[in-house]
Chains A and B, each alone.
Chain A
Amino acid sequence: MLSNQAQTFERNTLKNYLLDHAYDEMFEGPDQLHGHYEPLLNHFASLPEGELSRRKAAADLSFLNQGITFTVYGREDGKEQIFPYDLLPRIITQAEWNKVERGLTQRIMALNLFLRDIYNEGRILADGVVPREVVYSCKHFRRQMVGLQVPRNVYVAICGTDLIRMQDGEFVVLEDNLRVPSGVSYMLTNRRVMKRIFPQLFRSYNVKPIEQYTQLLLGTLRSLAPEGRPEPNIVLLSPGVFNSAYFEHAYLARQMGIELVEGRDLVTHDNVIYMRTTSGLRRVDVIYRRVDDDFIDPLSFRGDSILGVSGLFNAYRAGNVTLANAFGTGVADDKALYAYVPDIIKYYLSEEPILQNVKTYLLTDPKSRQHVLQNLDKLVVKAVGESGGYGMLIGPHSTKAEQAEFAEKIKADPRNYIAQPTISFSRAPCLIGDGLEPRHVDLRPYVLYGDKVSVVPGGLTRVALKRGSLVVNSSQGGGSKDTWVLSE
């Protein structure tokens, strides 16, 4: 039950907090809080009026002054924006987290086994568990990787899996990001700001720490160094300052104490990668690359790339340098392949998947395609190789014209699209104006895989800040909030 003070608070602050059929992170039912949100609400109730907005302003200023911004800067009036940030933490209990952690561990192991397999023997293809055409028609499949050994057989060393919470409160996987997942710096800086803005509340909650992430990342990268390089020189390869995630690249490099390099800093000689330093050329052993496959080596991939390093792939092939993630991991986060991940888990690990998938229609199948085309107003259609919320149709929020356009696209290239039911994923309280309102949230935990699998407790909770919106991507008006995993 709420105290008197909390009831006044509730009348004022929660007047716009309307529940619907989506799972609510804070309320179990009308007037019935989830236990772990009670101290949070009581704390807010004890704050003087307007204090929440004041703290919000303090947090915004802190982000701006730290330069935690994401829009590209032009020379004219600086249009830098802070990554929208919500003041209320999203709270996850230990029991809930344990399951997520086990599920993610299982998933990254299986996906790595899968990648090793399809780039080598191809057992899973021969056994017919995953159709060959799904793999070979994927635009992120890299034939250059066939037959190539990668250190420790780790293809995906860094992964950020998007989870959503269904109506029954269960977490399911929405997509795997196995190429160059971003956002981890927001997870870390959100936490730093939260600790400054709500120190007492934070302390009272016994939240599991996440600050060890950069150290774990460094350890992961080190464990993947080429053989015979006991003191590897590790660098982070960024597309440069005009990339929207540049802040993150700089932040991670700094936190790990490694060099942040750009393509123009690296040169290849005799299949060895060097970086240009003031004391001459220095050999590079491990590259944490934040540049897509396509742009990383103009000799092996896209010839018009100016972000890459000529000859990098050959050096990689020669085993003189390790890249994390490896090339060609995108085949495993293709949205059509996603439908097969539960089978992949069973095939390699002989285990049942701990985290479920969202029901997915493969449009190459005539029957599914027929069903999808008839129900475009109810379904979500996604392009298989896209991310960031691009190339997407959200049926219930779309116009007839958009649906017709997508119908044409699907008929023209069914392999390029999948469809999923429109899911009303869970909502968490957010500070909107002076009051709290529920907004849809997802969760992106970050998984590392080197000599072992580690998952930092929590991750980035992304929020669709527009009322009713289901799109959480920062490029489409989404924001983020700190995620607290409690230790009992």
Chain B
Amino acid sequence: MLSRVADSLYWMSRYLERAEHTTRLLDVNLNLMLDESSASAERRWQRVLQALGTPKDVKWKGDPYELVRQLSFDTNSRSSILSLIIMARENSRHVREQISTEQWHRLNSLYLAVTLPGLSKSPEPGTMSMEPELPTEFLTQVMEAVHQFQGVTDSTMSHGEGWQFIQVGRYIERASATASLLEAFHDDLWGDGQSERVEGNEYLDWMGLLRSATAFEAYCKVYTADLTPERILEFLLLDEDFPHSLRFSIDSLQCSLDNIQRESGKVRADPLRRLAGRLQGSLSYSGVDEILDGDIVAYLRTIQVQCREIHNTIYELYVDYSIQAALAS
């Protein structure tokens, strides 16, 4: 497969995963906000921004709906859902002949629907801010479309090398997003010893965390609706079967990297295998107690650093290699 194609498939997939993650975070928080006093709004939305990796061009200005509008529609920001969809679609356009017609239809229809003129109009200054109904409808639409796209991807595209690169993009994005989400919620899970909490509110927050990773129902099946920080951490980090857990993401990533290595034969992939294997090992063979004993934030940051290293190594091996190196091997 062409290196350029691998590059585009990878990013198409990453951007869509990121769009879906952003969408879900906004949806969950808009919903939970209704049950809360407005005083805690700032904390909540700052945390959302932190979980999204603190996008440079989006700032909390005191109005949740304005923030949601920016994160949804502002094409000046590369982290808005609209920008992410446009970039994903642009990448898919570059590899139009590599993906299935069904995939293209799904993504292109989403693109056409969200770029419809008028949808993203910002409210006139002085009038009431955006209709509360509209973002939810938009968010639901995006989430459903991305899920459909992923379904169509799995059922209509050959599970060859291209599909594996899509998997790699999806899971590397998901792994670092989940790590970042857990980091943002660290203070809420363990308390920072300063903020006074209202009794019962932490339950809402923890549920919010789980739902931000679509994990609430799956968690309940394993541990019942009894939420504790240790179990939440254990579930989101180490659960073997839940598709949004870190362990699951890294397992899938590793599996796809192995398949790519097998298909593309010639390339010496030892450094990549070492990196991914080390991360996989640490997630497969640690208990939650060991992690709790150490510095949780540092642990989560290391995971994010490792994800970045894996990304760089993939690029050195498959996409950005030098001609000399390729001719020599």
Interface residues in chain A, defined as those with a beta carbon under 8 Å from any beta carbon in chain B: 64-67, 73, 75-78, 240-241, 247, 250-251, 253-254, 259-262, 264-265, 267, 269, 275-281
Contacts and interface: CB of A to CB of B under 8 A. Distances in A.
A240 B318 CA distance: 21
Q: Which of A65, A269, A278 has the most CB of B within 10 A?
A: A278
Given A278-B1, A278-B267, A65 B105 contact: yes
Interface size of B as a range? 35 or more
A65 B327 contact: no
10 cross-chain pairs, A with B, having the tightest CB-CB distances, nearest first: A279-B264, A254-B97, A250-B97, A278-B318, A250-B96, A276-B3, A278-B264, A280-B326, A281-B326, A253-B97
B107 to A, nearest CB: 10
B260 interface: yes
Nearest to B94: A241
B260 A278 contact: yes
Contacts of B267: 278-280
B6 interface: yes
Contact of A277 (B2, B75, B115): B2
28 contacts: A64-B112, A65-B109, A67-B93, A73-B90, A75-B86, A77-B117, A78-B111, A241-B94, A250-B96, A253-B97, A254-B97, A261-B2, A265-B4, A267-B323, A276-B4, A276-B326, A277-B1, A277-B3, A277-B264, A278-B161, A278-B318, A278-B319, A279-B1, A279-B263, A279-B265, A280-B264, A281-B326, A281-B327
A259 B97 CA distance: 9
A266 to B, nearest CB: 10
Given A65-B108, A67-B93, 6 more contacts: A66-B101, A66-B105, A73-B90, A267-B323, A278-B3, A278-B267
B189 to A, nearest CB: 40
Contacts of A277: 1-3, 264
A53 B263 CA distance: 50
B327 A269 contact: yes
B221 interface: no
Contacts of A261: 2
A181 to B, nearest CB: 20
Contacts of A262: 4
Contacts of B321: 276, 280
Nearest to A276: B3
A188 B3 CA distance: 30
A280 B94 contact: no
A210 to B, nearest CB: 19
A225 to B, nearest CB: 20
A259 B2 contact: yes
A269 B326 CA distance: 11
B329 interface: yes
Contacts of A275: 2
B4 A264 contact: yes
Nearest to B107: A67
Contacts of A78: 111-112, 115
Contact of A67 (B1, B3, B108): B108
A67 B101 CA distance: 10
B86 A67 contact: no
B47 to A, nearest CB: 30
Given A75-B86, A250-B97, A279 B266 contact: yes
B219 interface: no
A67 B2 contact: no
B104 interface: yes
Nearest to A267: B323
Interface in B273-329: 318-319, 321, 323, 326-327, 329
A15 B161 CA distance: 58
Interface string B82-124: 0000100010011011000100110011011001010000000
